[in-house]
Amino acid sequence: MKIAVIAPTEIPARRANTVQVMKMTQALVSLDHETRLASPFTHPFRMTDKDIEAAAQHHQWEHLSRLYGLQHQFPIVWLQARSRFRRYDYGLAAVRWARRWDANLIYTRLPQAAALSSSLGMRTILEAHDLPHGKMGRRLFQRFIRGSGARRLVVITRALLDDLVEAYGITEPSSHKPQFTVVAPDGVDLDRYKNPPSPVEARKTLSHNRRDGDNHAGLSLPVDRFTVGYTGHLYAGRGTHMLLSLAERLPGMTFLVVGGEPDQVDKLKNQSEKRSLNNLVLTGFVSNIELPVYQAACDVLLMPYQRHVAASSGGDISRYLSPMKLFEYMANERAILSSDLPVLGEILNTDNAVLRHPDDIDAWVDALKHLEINPDYRRKLAAQARKDVQRYTWEARAEQILDGIA
């Protein structure tokens, strides 16, 4: 099948949605579908030769494969998107591009494209990670649903599907066979997490790499000290205040924080220095291809999400989030300590993770102390998590989404 994937935001970028789009496109390729990806590209109207050369290097496959941890190459086309048109120009261009290519199916997270292609009768799958926002968002969503080309609505959590059903009265029309709605949480590249090294081995590897002049020179991890890790963005609601408090309360443990934009990392570093913390290690951004060894360097991995969680756009995603790091943590066979948000309970339970109230710092401190002195308990949690994550590969997700769509 010829599948045109239309990305919602510019690639490359450090946003989680670009990682998810690239992983899903690769999964479709690995299932032997002829797949091409379209991405918006915002650039000055007049570009110098130097600008053009820099842009070309930025979009080379070698750079993209390292940034996103990809193994299978696929064609990518960049289509102009001007900010004042709010992706409507890009959505139109992307649908035209898919039609010229004679795609059998359009798969997208961009409502502007899904509404148009569905209305034109082009077979379309829309993936939603949140409720539609604003009057136009609701109109675009309804236009997709009512269009003759709508084939499937993919949502990342059961909570989101329930709210969409309540808000829009989505049913399974007889004309839509097989099932129109699919709940598909995010996934993981299990092949990249085969036989993860022990925490001590991973810490030795990272320390060795630092000495060899890696981009994060100066990173120093005590090899034999119990290490607690967090990977991902540092937006509001991700629990950075919890990380600081835990490091302050547990000075005998190392806290490794991987990720974040420079301004966010600087802010956290300043807060750490004000508290005179010497056990909080900040790496800043790490490319996806390097991420597994950083996660493996930890004895416990944290997800201290708060009751309100900001996305890169600034909206609150706490009710519907399906974090990719959750599945990476599970695949890495490490004990997970997580906030007990209802939506995370769709994946996590007391057999594969330790769940605590996001505001109860004492409970988190006690949980980490218990995990430190009980390695058998850590291994039991980690083994169950690794077993449970087997069904959440990107390829399995792609198969589920395409099931019954010939």
10 Å Cβ neighbour count for 289? 15
- pTM score, two decimals? 0.91
Instruction: For residue 38, list its beta bridge partners.
Output: 6, 77
- Which of 84-88, 151-155, 224-228, 382-386 shows the lowest per-residue confidence on average (mean pLDDT)? 84-88
| Token couple for 220 | 């120093």
Residue 113, pLDDT > 60, answer yes
- Kindly list the distances between the CA atom of residue 222 and the CA atoms of 203, 204, 209, 256, 276, in Å, as whole numbers in the listed order: 8, 9, 14, 11, 18
256: which strand partners?
A: 229, 281
How many Cα atoms sit within 13 Å of 165 on the Cβ side? 14
What are the φ/ψ torsions at residue 283 (nearest 5 degrees)?
-100, -20
pLDDT of residue 51 exceeding 60, the answer is no
Residues in the chain: 406
Q: Pull the structure tokens for residue 5.
A: 């994937």
Spatial contact of 36 and 76, defined as CB atoms under 8 Å apart: yes
Q: How confident is the model at residue 209, as a pLDDT? A: 66
Q: Summarize pLDDT for 75-109 with one digit per residue, the tens.
A: 999 998 888 888 999 999 999 999 999 999 999 99
Q: Which of 161, 111, 156, 153 is nearest to 132 (CA)?
A: 111
- Is pLDDT of 161 > 80? yes
Enclosing H/E stretch for 249? helix 240-249
Kindly report the backbone phi and psi dihedral angles of residue 201, in degrees, each rounded to the nearest multiple of 5, phi listed first: -60, -40
Residue 212 pLDDT exceeds 50 = no
Kindly report each contact of residues 313-318 with a partner whose C-beta sits within 8 Å and lies 24 or more positions away, as own/partner.
Answer: 315/130, 315/133, 316/237, 317/129, 317/130, 318/237, 318/343
Note whether 160 and 320 are within 8 A (CB): yes
- Which of these, 381, 303, 389, lies nearest to 347 by C-alpha position? 389
Domains and CATH numbers, the chain: 2-188+393-402 (3.40.50.2000), 190-391 (3.40.50.2000)
Q: What angle do CA 88, 93, 95 make, to 5 degrees?
A: 95
144 phi, psi to nearest 5 deg? -65, -50
Query: Residue 200's pLDDT is what?
Result: 96
Give the type of residue at 21: V
Alpha-carbon span 292 to 280, nearest angstrom: 19
Does residue 57 have a pLDDT over 80? no
**Partners of residue 182 on adjacent β-strands:** 154
Condensed to tens digits (0 to 9), the pLDDT of residues 245-269 reads 999 999 999 999 999 999 999 999 9
297 vs 334: CA distance, rounded Å: 9
